Amino acid sequence: MTQEAGSATRVATATLLDWLEQMAVIRGTEKAAHDLFMRGLVKGTTHLAAGHEAIAVGASAALRPDDYVFATYRGHHHAIARGASPEGCLAELMQRSTGVCRAKGGSMHLTRADHGMLGSYAIVGAHLPMANGAAWSARLRGTSQVAVAFFGDGATNIGAFHEALNLAAVWKLAVVFVCENNRYMEYTPIASVTSVPNPAADRAAANGMPGVLVDGNDVVAVHEAMATAVDRARAGDGPTVLEALTYRHFGHSRTDPATYRPAAEVEEWLARDPLILARRRLAEWGVPQADVDAVEARAADTVAAASRAAQDAPPADPEDAFTDVWADGGWAWRT
Amino acid sequence: MTQEAGSATRVATATLLDWLEQMAVIRGTEKAAHDLFMRGLVKGTTHLAAGHEAIAVGASAALRPDDYVFATYRGHHHAIARGASPEGCLAELMQRSTGVCRAKGGSMHLTRADHGMLGSYAIVGAHLPMANGAAWSARLRGTSQVAVAFFGDGATNIGAFHEALNLAAVWKLAVVFVCENNRYMEYTPIASVTSVPNPAADRAAANGMPGVLVDGNDVVAVHEAMATAVDRARAGDGPTVLEALTYRHFGHSRTDPATYRPAAEVEEWLARDPLILARRRLAEWGVPQADVDAVEARAADTVAAASRAAQDAPPADPEDAFTDVWADGGWAWRT
Amino acid sequence: MADLTTYRDAVSDGLARELRRDPSVVLLGEDIGAAGGVFKTTVGLFEEFGADRVWDTPISEQAIMGAAMGAAMTGMRPVAEIMFSDFLACCWDYLANEIPKARYMTGGQVSVPMVVRTANGGGLGFGAQHSQSVENWAFTVPGLKIVAPSTPADVVGLMASAIRSDDPVVFFEHKGLFASKGEAAPPEHVVPLGEARVARPGDDVTVVALAATVPLALAAAEQLVEDGISVEVIDLRCLVPLDMATVLGSLERTSRLVVVEENPYQGGWGATVASIVADEGFELLDAPVRRVAGENVPLPFADALEERVIPTTGKLVEAVRRLASY
Amino acid sequence: MADLTTYRDAVSDGLARELRRDPSVVLLGEDIGAAGGVFKTTVGLFEEFGADRVWDTPISEQAIMGAAMGAAMTGMRPVAEIMFSDFLACCWDYLANEIPKARYMTGGQVSVPMVVRTANGGGLGFGAQHSQSVENWAFTVPGLKIVAPSTPADVVGLMASAIRSDDPVVFFEHKGLFASKGEAAPPEHVVPLGEARVARPGDDVTVVALAATVPLALAAAEQLVEDGISVEVIDLRCLVPLDMATVLGSLERTSRLVVVEENPYQGGWGATVASIVADEGFELLDAPVRRVAGENVPLPFADALEERVIPTTGKLVEAVRRLASY
Ligand SMILES: Cc1ncc(C[n+]2csc(CCOP(=O)(O)OP(=O)(O)O)c2C)c(N)n1
Ligand SMILES: Cc1ncc(C[n+]2csc(CCOP(=O)(O)OP(=O)(O)O)c2C)c(N)n1
Ligand SMILES: [Mg+2]
Ligand SMILES: [Mg+2]
């Protein structure tokens, strides 16, 4: 049965301020990406996660540094939440040699393997089975690492989703499947093509695991639900499906004005912006506005510096096209 | 929620006698296939359905002649229940030109398109989405045909199963998904690799449709459960998952002695042979043994004649290797 | 001169013409309905033909292909869109094992008259998983017809043939060509499958091209005029049926062949063309057979890197020059 | 003479040696555990190494490949079995888009040291969906190493290299060879990837073969002795890395090439070999390049039909004869 997670715990004020700062850095980086695109400095496609920040920050806060994360083409927020620098991400988008993937991956494939951020994948659903593999490996190596797959609502209708859930349950793997349900696939409402109301959580029981719904714009609630799932996984009790309800602020990708979304719906969700919710909670807790302003200002500085540095970085080296095919660094395929 | 179907209705005696005869023909044909293999006359692989007869006969009895059926490599019983002749099937297995597929398909691909038996497919799960397509087509053409996919318990863990169920529910297609749960995949118990006790029925709710368990060895029960599902589909109320519990009498395929199955389990299921159950019911209904013996004798004659005719048929024509690639009958791929 | 139109609009035009002509034609795919397709290649179709002819699907490539196959077997002519050709990998079983084999393995009992449309190719900075040219995957499978048009008129004319074909067709629309313009197709335009087009006649070197490498080859041919090299450009249009008669006929005059293909060199369709020429056309050849193909690496994101690994006019010019002076 | 063993037993021997040597090696697949594999190629491994090293899976090819990939990225050396190579179509996304691209698109951050083992090929009457030779699918994808041994000793030696490789390897075991016998591999036997083997030296015609076409080529060579034709048979062993140096070196002596491959002619790996020869080896050739390949049809069930469409010794003998007298 699908359960609803509340947000009962009160985290330390400093923690929530830190989370707000992280969310503001992500938001700022997404805005910078958008602006740089408008200025012709970001090419190719980008899928901004503005609006989804609470999921990345709340979930990552429940993880250990050595845990594993797998994300989608909409993955800037997870990369940053796991410690990729905004500069490295923006440089990647701007095709600079200092990009996190040396400009070979691009926006859709941000990766920081040294932070356990094992990649962003652009084939819907493909990375859920990979997260199983990382969790299986942790078990085999005798560590207690947990693996997390973040994915969209649209991914719940693809075969790999089902195969991944079943295997994770059968092998009792330490995986958390986190669905970022933003109500839309590209331009089509998920409700119009899905057989159940909660596309991820309502499928958990079919694979013998708990399915939990959480407010994906409430960073405290996300953290709490995630901590429960992570504890369960680390204790050896198996996987969980966590479905976080959220909304994207931009269109699906850079070419999408998102006119298919009702204005009232957009408004309602913008009012529930995860940064607004976090600020409101801090105010309720009596945290002085100045403290909040300070972290937001610091976030803005971080982003501005990152954007400048990325713009100043040297372009990608065309010769890099011929490296990293094989483990020996090269690309030789014949004699 | 998974429901259990009983067998409340009493069908006409003549009907049950007819079903027994059909089951006996199938059983006899499977035995003949086995014997012909032992004599070196059947080559390649075969997957006998002996033990599963009640599913094919009970389910087919609930269908109209113009309904569509899609089956697996273990599909002899469905082909025959849908009107393929035992002779045509045995001839196919023996590589004769009179085989139902002119010896181009073999045991795993028995097809009688003119009887709505649209094929047997050997990639696990692949035909479930095809059944959706046939039902979708019926809707588009304004007929009230129903499509049925028969598949094994093992198929419930593959992605295509999940994708098919979701689309069928969303489009409210007139499909019945019939799982023949014989407790094993090839040699591995389904329970050891599946996250829920009833691999098909317990996944129905995850795709917003009823999931029904039925005794797959009781032809009357199968018919009744199938009739309910077919009525629902034909009425436009959407798909159903029907999980029929059964057991195979032979190993997975011709090379498998099935030593991995506990003797007690085998015994228990052989005692619940669908033919025994049908005979017992007829006896309970007071049908004279002579009537039962008569249909079984007729079935034996049918099979014996079919086997002789198939053995006497000419071998497949090697030139047929170069026909039927394209609609024009040929195989030209270049100038 | 005739009206100009884009390759992108030609796709929806080609689909609309067949939807109007034949009520058994029906479309399905992700975001193809009210949204008009992520490449805007189905714009207006939902409005004109309605929800009964243009079906939005979940992200379920296997369910899409299976639905199309089942419908094709039972009297419809479905046209399935797989958004990016890279995603054919998510339903490859249908193209590799089911659709092309159904007629054959049933001894001719079943027909599968369906079309799979998909956006193919690179050059737009979409990275390793959204930029591939995968017509070479389909080419490994007997039983599929393979179409890859290079002009708006061919899009319409070949779409008509593909949809009317009783055989399954994979229809590759090149992403890099969507914005390109050309003459609009006249009414009732039908281009038969398997007939190559001499896109530019020439005498010295034959260049065999497909889809986006056709304009590239034409640009190279234009540049090579300055070198005094006359290039014949053949637009194959289809990989199956493969029009080798036109290629071998051209070689009778030129005796020199360059194949220009976007997919990687290893396993590329150009190798099959080259191997046929090295066999049946051996005596025609005055020089080695050359292939300008994608490099054997995944596709990188950055423009400057992608440019290094996919065929360009410059690379083709260079290859033709060297071959002409062989 | 050394001990004889079967190709089938060599598979489990090769796996066992690596399982013993390196605790990070782990196996997964359908029915590979207590059942010993449907081709009996993992017999004894579950007993020797236990459930922690040999994992039975559900029928979930995508989950198998994804699990192997995730484990390979995080310190293990998984060996995944996909029962029949035809089923690679059910998880093709992993071989086409994920596994071979991970290192490249992350700028070298990630390694995927895994092996995919699979039973490939026809000749056993398994019909259209269980008989294909699909090494040509894998060959279209840069970033995969491709191995297809022809002898028991090579199975062991190439398995060692495949599992120790830090690159992903697809390892094709030919169904038609499982029962064949050959010398057992000596202890510590390792055959490097990408080194072809001259299976039989000869002077008149070079025959390039792989997996099951190697014994076929050897039989043809033996028959052709009577015609006074001396055939050099090259066993490629691997498609990537592809040892063209050995092929071109042989052609320097023979000047005549026949490639014999089981996969269909269209899109076959032999076309790439032929196209390289038609380019770089053009001046070596005294005759057309010939390919004896599978016909471009799905694989039929009946033996007499299957025989018509896959390469046979007879077809190769005939092709070599005609080429020798060119
Ligand atoms: C297998 C596959 N099919 C289709 C696509 C194209 N595609 C990219 S994103 C997307 C929508 C995904 O929606 P969702 O899972 O809800 O994620 P969101 O973009 O909303 O974060 C689609 C259809 C793809 N990348 N992969
Ligand atoms: C995609 C795929 N994976 C694996 C196989 C090999 N295989 C054939 S039958 C089978 C077992 C199927 O079990 P189940 O679905 O329970 O059907 P049953 O054979 O018991 O009728 C397997 C694994 C296959 N044919 N297709
Ligand atoms: Mg979404
Ligand atoms: Mg079973």
Helices B219-234 + B13-38 axis angle, to 10: 110
Residue C2 has pLDDT above 70, yes or no: no
- Could you list the residue range(s) of the whole structural domain that residue B288 is in? 3-314
Q: Per 3-state DSSP, what percentage of chain D is helix, strand, and coil (rounded to 5)? A: 40, 20, 40
Would A15 be classed as within a structural domain?
A: yes
Alpha-carbon torsion A32, A33, A38, A41, what sign?
positive
In what side-by-side order are the strands of the sheet with C77-84? C54-56, C25-29, C77-84, C115-120, C169-174, C145-147, C238-240
Instruction: Look at the block and give the residue holding tokens 């010993």.
Output: D36
Q: Which residues of A are less than 8 Å from D92 in CB distance?
A: none
Would A325 be classed as within a structural domain?
A: no
User: Is residue B74 in contact with ligand 2, taking CB distance under 6 Å?
Assistant: yes
pLDDT tens digits, one per residue of A59-96: 999 999 999 999 999 999 999 999 999 999 999 999 99
Q: Does the distance separating the beta carbons of C60 and A157 come in below 8 Å?
A: yes
Neighbours of B66 (CB within 10 A): 12
Would B266 be classed as within a structural domain?
A: yes
**For chain C, what is the mean pLDDT?**
98
Q: Report which residue type is found at A116.
A: G
**For chain A, what is the mean pLDDT?**
97
Would A333 be classed as within a structural domain?
A: no
Residue B123 has pLDDT above 80, yes or no: yes
Confidence of residue B244 (pLDDT cuts 50, 70, 90): very high
Q: Which residues, 6 or more positions from C164, have their beta carbon under 8 angstroms from its beta carbon?
A: C18, C22, C77, C190
Residue A56 has pLDDT above 60, yes or no: yes
Q: Does the distance separating the beta carbons of D52 and A129 come in below 8 Å?
A: no
Instruction: Look at the block and give the residue holding tokens 């939005």.
Output: C56
Q: What percent of chain C has pLDDT over 70?
A: 99
Would A331 be classed as within a structural domain?
A: no
Domain range D4-183, CATH architecture: 3-Layer(aba) Sandwich (3.40)
Residue A9 has pLDDT above 70, yes or no: no
pLDDT tens digits, one per residue of B100-118: 999 999 999 999 999 999 9
Residue B76 has pLDDT above 80, yes or no: yes
User: Is residue B124 in contact with ligand 2, taking CB distance under 6 Å?
Assistant: yes
Q: Does the distance separating the beta carbons of C290 and D272 come in below 8 Å?
A: no
Provide the shortest C-alpha distance from residue C110 to chain B (in Å). 7
Can you list the positions of beta strands (E) in A216-332?
240-245
Strand-pair partners of D56: D29
pLDDT tens digits, one per residue of D135-185: 999 999 999 999 999 999 999 999 999 999 999 999 999 999 999 999 999
Separation of alpha carbons B23 and B21, rounded Å: 5
Query: Which of the other chains make 3 or more beta carbon contacts under 8 angstroms with chain C?
Result: A, B, D
Q: Which residues of B are less than 8 Å from A166 in CB distance?
A: 157, 193-195
Separation of alpha carbons B26 and B296, rounded Å: 11
Can you list the positions of beta strands (E) in chain C?
4-6, 25-29, 54-56, 77-84, 115-120, 145-147, 169-174, 181-183, 197-200, 205-209, 231-235, 238-240, 257-264, 290-294
Sequence ranges of the domains in chain C: 4-183, 197-324
Those of residues 54-83 in D touching chain C at CB distance below 8 A are none
Q: Which residues of A are less than 8 Å from C126 in CB distance?
A: 44-45, 106, 108
Q: What is the CATH number of domain C197-324?
A: 3.40.50.920
Per DSSP, A184 falls in state: B
Q: Which residues, 6 or more positions from D18, have their beta carbon under 8 angstroms from its beta carbon?
A: D25, D77, D79, D159, D160, D163, D164
Provide the shortest C-alpha distance from residue B170 to chain A (in Å). 5
Strands C77-84 and C25-29: parallel
Residue B88 has pLDDT above 70, yes or no: yes
User: What burial letters (b/e) apply to D284-309, b meaning 16+ CB within 10 Å?
Assistant: bbebbbbbbbbbbbbbbbbbbbbbbb
Distance from Cα C78 to the centre of ligand 1, integer Å: 23
- What would the mean pLDDT of D222-233 be, rounded to a whole number? 98
Instruction: Report the nearest atom of ligand 1 relative to the CA of A152.
Output: 15
The two domains D4-183 and D197-324 share their CATH topology (first three levels equal): yes
B251: number of CA atoms within 13 Å, CB side?
14
pLDDT tens digits, one per residue of B147-197: 999 999 999 999 999 999 999 999 999 999 999 999 999 999 999 999 999
Q: Does the distance separating the beta carbons of C110 and B326 come in below 8 Å?
A: no
pLDDT tens digits, one per residue of B273-306: 999 999 999 999 999 999 999 999 999 999 999 9
According to the model, what pLDDT value does residue C52 have?
98
Q: Does the distance separating the beta carbons of B167 and C69 come in below 8 Å?
A: no
Q: Does the distance separating the beta carbons of C297 and A331 come in below 8 Å?
A: yes
A132, A195, A209: best to mutate for the B interface, most B CBs within 10 A: A195
Q: Which residues of A are less than 8 Å from B170 in CB distance?
A: 192-195
Strand-pair partners of C58: none
- What would the mean pLDDT of C69-95 be, rounded to a whole number? 98
- What would the mean pLDDT of C69-92 be, rounded to a whole number? 98
Do B45 and B105 meet the contact criterion of CB atoms below 8 Å apart? no
Q: Which helix (H) or strand (E) holds D263?
A: strand D257-264
Would A49 be classed as within a structural domain?
A: yes
Q: Which residues, 6 or more positions from A203, have their beta carbon under 8 angstroms from its beta carbon?
A: A156, A161, A162, A165, A196, A211, A241, B206
Strand-pair partners of A70: A149
Both tokens assigned to C259: 């194949």
- What would the mean pLDDT of B59-68 be, rounded to a whole number? 98
Q: What is the dihedral of CA D315, D317, D319, D321, to 10 degrees?
A: -150
Confidence of residue A2 (pLDDT cuts 50, 70, 90): confident
According to the model, what pLDDT value does residue C92 have?
98
Query: What is the number of the ligand closest to the CA of A47?
Result: 1
Pocket test for ligand 2, best of D59, D85, D87, D129 (most atoms within 8 A of CB): D59
C76 → closest Cβ in B102, B137, B164? B137
**For chain B, what is the mean pLDDT?**
97
Q: Which residues of D are less than 8 Å from B330 in CB distance?
A: none
- What would the mean pLDDT of C42-64 be, rounded to a whole number? 98
Confidence of residue B44 (pLDDT cuts 50, 70, 90): confident
C309 → closest Cβ in A101, A316, A321? A321
Confidence of residue A8 (pLDDT cuts 50, 70, 90): low
> In this structure, which residue's CA is closest to atom 9 in ligand 1?
A186
pLDDT tens digits, one per residue of A118-143: 999 999 999 999 999 999 999 999 99
User: What number of residues does chain B have?
Assistant: 335
Instruction: Report the nearest atom of ligand 1 relative to the CA of A181.
Output: 16
Query: What is the number of the ligand closest to the CA of A73?
Result: 1
Those of residues 79-138 in D touching chain C at CB distance below 8 A are 86-87, 89-90, 92-93, 95-97, 100-101, 104-105, 127-129, 134, 136-137
Separation of alpha carbons A116 and A132, rounded Å: 14
- What would the mean pLDDT of C23-37 be, rounded to a whole number? 98
Query: What is the number of the ligand closest to the CA of A150?
Result: 1
The pTM assigned to this predicted structure is 0.98
Where is average pLDDT lowest: A223-227, B41-45, C100-104?
A: B41-45
User: Is residue C49 in contact with ligand 1, taking CB distance under 6 Å?
Assistant: no
pLDDT tens digits, one per residue of C282-299: 999 999 999 999 999 999
Q: Does A193 touch chain C (CB under 8 A)?
A: yes
End-to-end distance of chain C based on CA atoms, in angstroms? 40
User: Is residue B154 in contact with ligand 2, taking CB distance under 6 Å?
Assistant: yes
User: Is residue D306 in contact with ligand 2, taking CB distance under 6 Å?
Assistant: no
- What would the mean pLDDT of A153-161 be, rounded to a whole number? 98
Alpha-carbon torsion A78, A82, A83, A88, what sign?
negative
Provide the shortest C-alpha distance from residue C326 to chain A (in Å). 24
Distances (CA, A) of A320 to A41, A105, A113, D110: 20, 12, 19, 16
Q: Report which residue type is found at C259.
A: V
According to the model, what pLDDT value does residue D122 have?
95
According to the model, what pLDDT value does residue D61 have?
98
Distance of CA B239 to the CA centre of its chain: 18
According to the model, what pLDDT value does residue A255 have?
84
According to the model, what pLDDT value does residue B9 have?
66
Would B39 be classed as within a structural domain?
A: yes
Separation of alpha carbons D318 and D313, rounded Å: 9
Q: Does the distance separating the beta carbons of C92 and D89 come in below 8 Å?
A: yes
Q: What is the dihedral of CA D194, D199, D202, D205, to 10 degrees?
A: -60
| Burial group, residue C279, by CB count within 10 angstroms (0-12, 13-18, 19+) | middle
A104 → closest Cβ in C63, C126, C300? C300
Query: Which of the other chains make 3 or more beta carbon contacts under 8 angstroms with chain A?
Result: B, C, D
User: Is residue B202 in contact with ligand 2, taking CB distance under 6 Å?
Assistant: no
Residue D1 has pLDDT above 60, yes or no: no
Q: Does C248 touch chain D (CB under 8 A)?
A: no
C129, C261, C272, C295: best to mutate for the D interface, most D CBs within 10 A: C272
Q: Report which residue type is found at A284.
A: E
Provide the shortest C-alpha distance from residue C281 to chain B (in Å). 13
Q: List the CATH number of the domain containing A27.
A: 3.40.50.970
Q: Does B208 touch chain D (CB under 8 A)?
A: no
Both tokens assigned to B323: 């026909």
Helix (H/G/I), strand (E/B), else coil: A176: strand
pLDDT tens digits, one per residue of C296-320: 999 999 999 999 999 999 999 999 9
Confidence of residue B3 (pLDDT cuts 50, 70, 90): confident
Q: Per 3-state DSSP, what percentage of chain B is helix, strand, and coil (rounded to 5)? A: 50, 15, 40
How many distinct structural domains can be found in chain A? 1
- What would the mean pLDDT of C217-235 be, rounded to a whole number? 98
Helix (H/G/I), strand (E/B), else coil: C233: strand
Q: Does A322 touch chain D (CB under 8 A)?
A: no
Chains A, D: CB contacts under 8 A, how many? 165
Do C308 and C275 meet the contact criterion of CB atoms below 8 Å apart? no
